[in-house]
């Protein structure tokens, strides 16, 4: 089971965390990953300055928009 965390702290929320969460929900559903991936919200990851912060199976990334968040999800979670 892989864990995906999206920061829902105030800075990330303003910078688009809800859009990243929706993108991840869609990816999980479209690729039938419900049994393999847990999607969680988390509090501030102390990387507030440049965009949405996420943690994909232990790898912390920041400054993501939904498109880049999808690229990283496909790479780190789906192994594409």
8: its two tokens:
């829902």
Q: How far is the CB of 40 from ligand FES (least distance, A)?
A: 14
Q: How far is the CB of 77 from ligand FES (least distance, A)?
A: 20
Are 23 and 68 in contact by the 8 Å Cβ rule? The answer is no
Alpha helices (H) along the chain: 10-15, 17-30, 66-76
Residues 36-75 vs ligand FES: string with x where CB under 6 A?
--------xxxxx----x----------------------
Q: Which residue is nearest to ligand FES (CB)?
A: 9
């Amino acid at each position: 089971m892989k864990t995906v965390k999206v920061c829902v702290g105030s800075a990330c929320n303003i910078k688009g965390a809800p859009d990243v969460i929706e993108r991840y929900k869609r990816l999980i559903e479209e690729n039938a990953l419900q049994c393999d991936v847990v999607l969680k919200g988390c509090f501030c990851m102390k990387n507030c300055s440049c965009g949405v912060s996420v943690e994909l199976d232990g790898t912390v990334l920041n400054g993501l928009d939904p498109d880049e968040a999808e690229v990283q999800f496909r790479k780190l979670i789906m192994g594409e």
